[in-house]
Amino acid sequence: MTSFVEEARREKLKELRKRGVEPFGYRFERTSLARSALDGFREDDKAVHRLAGRLVLLRPMGKVTFGHLEDASGRIQLYFKRDFLGDDTYGVLKLLDLGDLVGVEGPLFRTQTGEVTLQVRGLTVLAKSLRPLSLGKEDASGVRHGELSDPELRARQRYADLAVHPEVREVFKLRARVVSFIRKFLDARGYLEVETPVLQPLYGGAAARPFKTHYEALDTTVYLRIADELYLKRCIVGGLERVYEIGHDFRNEGLSRFHNPEFTMAEWYEAYADYEVMREIAESMVANMVEELFGTTTLERHGATLSFQRPFARKDYYSLVRETAGVDLMSATGAELREALKRRNVVETDQLTMPKLTDEVFKTYVEPTLVQPTFVFDYPKSLSPLAKVKRGDPQRVERWELFIQKREVANAFSELNDPEDQAERFAQQANLRAAGDQEAQQLDEDFLRALEYGMPPTGGVGLGVDRLLMILADQANIREVILFPMLRPQE
């Protein structure tokens, strides 16, 4: 149903057309943005500026009207005067609303209150806003009222959120800079950016449930990838010795403030390297990124002071579980793990396999303690079917995860390159699937065939771009760093 306000705007639209004013323009050539025009102002400057943006304030005062125009760089005050514009153009102002997109041109001057202002000598309507934006109003104390603030609505109508909140636009500008930094960092180290299939005949590379669809042309089921790993390692087999991909993965899991089913990963793999080499690269990447983007190695985020000064802390997986949960994973039984989870009110554990119980104990007890950037090393073999066994300890694998602010942001292995060992691990995963673990890895015979041609020792890393952004942008929910996140259907 159209509201009274929207009907009034549509009436103004009709009136604009009746007057011969095109309400949806084709083009407007700007000479500058608001911020650069303001920064370049000189008292004797008579240059004519052409600016375009949204009207966010209009204050008629008889034969003059003051307004504010906002573009990507900020706001600038506008001064409309009937004597400068003529009756017809000045009359168009009565048909404009907040949120309308306009082009203006004229010189700058300083008002009696000292504000640098554009004296409008020309006005072009570029797009009539038929639905009012929740711009809000600021009271004398600086508090804004009536603006778009509901988190669900902001995520559902991101276009409106971006239009009224400059700080939200800054989050996504930061996101672009982070992705650009990752690409620049890896390119400088001789990595080759590649693209691997998003639609796959068999999914793998992580413990997750997939999205599946039907490919009509081949009459077969295909899956949206859950990770880039197995195809990137095929590239290593083929002689592309340093490869990376920044792309979307998809996991058929629940929604939470840390989980969106479509998310962005940066994965990179290097031949003749192991997980220690990858630790050095990841640490250097994150530390240098923070310093370049923020000009410091210390960030205040989520109520904590985070230090990205190298070296980051290093912790042992088994020691952390023993210290926080009082459980020795080298000898613990399923009953002991369930009892530990029960102490933290984790229920419905009876159907969990031993690897799932181990992982749940770590998530419940250890992760909440990992605030500063910390590498956790040497995971149980049962949790890591694609990683090489740790040298000198066959119960563990050479794997680390990087935690910051209580959440995992990166995962790395010394990649398993023994095809017979990999086949055995896949068989173990098949047993877990038979026992009810829907996220266990599937047998990928083509990947085994690739390994049989010979894959050099390889180190690999997967970095969660969205989760890293949550920390860098100081956001508590993953949907605040994804432009168009998945949301539950509206009732």
Quick check: bond before 311 cis, omega within 30? yes
User: What distance lies between CA 345 and its chain's CA centroid?
Assistant: 32
User: Helices 166-188 and 275-294 sit at what angle, rounded to 10 degrees?
Assistant: 140
Residue that wins the pLDDT comparison between 327 and 432: 327
In the prediction, which pLDDT does 474 show? 97
Is 265:238 a contact under the CB 8 Å cutoff? Answer: no
Is 246:183 a contact under the CB 8 Å cutoff? Answer: yes
Residue with tokens 């204050």: 59
In the prediction, which pLDDT does 144 show? 54
**Edge-to-edge strand order for the sheet containing 108-110?**
108-110, 116-119, 74-81, 64-71, 49-61, 101-106, 122-127
- Look at residues 136, 160, 155 and name the one whose alpha carbon lies nearest to residue 147: 136
pLDDT at residue 442 is higher than 90 = no
Domains of the chain in sequence order: 4-132 (2.40.50.140), 167-312+372-480 (3.30.930.10)
pLDDT at residue 149 is higher than 60 = yes
Q: What is the pLDDT of residues 393-426, one digit of tens each?
A: 999 999 999 999 999 999 999 999 999 999 999 9
Q: What is the pLDDT of residues 338-367, one digit of tens each?
A: 999 999 999 889 889 999 999 999 999 999
Task: Check the CA dihedral 365-367-371-377 and report its sign.
Answer: positive
Residue with tokens 């041609």: 453
pLDDT at residue 1 is higher than 70 = no
The mean pLDDT value of the chain amounts to 94
Q: What is the pLDDT of residues 97-134, one digit of tens each?
A: 999 999 999 999 999 999 999 999 999 999 999 999 98
Q: Containing H/E element for 422? A: helix 419-434
Helix, strand, coil percent content, the chain, rounded in steps of 5: 35, 30, 35
Residue that wins the pLDDT comparison between 20 and 46: 20
Express as a percent the part of the chain with pLDDT over 70: 97
Q: At 394, which amino acid appears?
A: P
Q: Containing H/E element for 432? A: helix 419-434
Contacts of residue 187, Cβ cutoff 8 Å, sequence gap at least 6: 193
In the prediction, which pLDDT does 44 show? 85
CB 13: neighbour CB atoms within 10 A? Answer: 19
pLDDT at residue 14 is higher than 70 = yes
By DSSP bridging, strand 393-397 and strand 389-390 are: antiparallel
CB 427: neighbour CB atoms within 10 A? Answer: 11
Q: What is the pLDDT of residues 460-482, one digit of tens each?
A: 999 999 999 999 999 999 999 99
C-alpha distances in Å from residue 6, one per residue of 116, 133, 462: 33, 11, 48
In the prediction, which pLDDT does 136 show? 65
Q: Which residues of 456-491 are buried (b: 16+ CB within 10 A; e: fewer)?
A: eebbbbbbbbbbbbbbbbebeebbbbbeebeeeeee
Is 215:221 a contact under the CB 8 Å cutoff? Answer: yes
pLDDT at residue 173 is higher than 70 = yes
**Cα-atom radius of gyration of the chain, to the nearest Å?**
29
* 99-113, 142-156, 164-178: segment of lowest average pLDDT: 142-156
In the prediction, which pLDDT does 311 show? 97
Give alpha helix (H) positions in 311-369: 317-325, 334-343, 354-361
Alpha-carbon distance 261 to 258, whole Å? 10
- Look at residues 186, 206, 148 and name the one whose alpha carbon lies nearest to residue 289: 186
Residue with tokens 């104990």: 361
In the prediction, which pLDDT does 484 show? 96
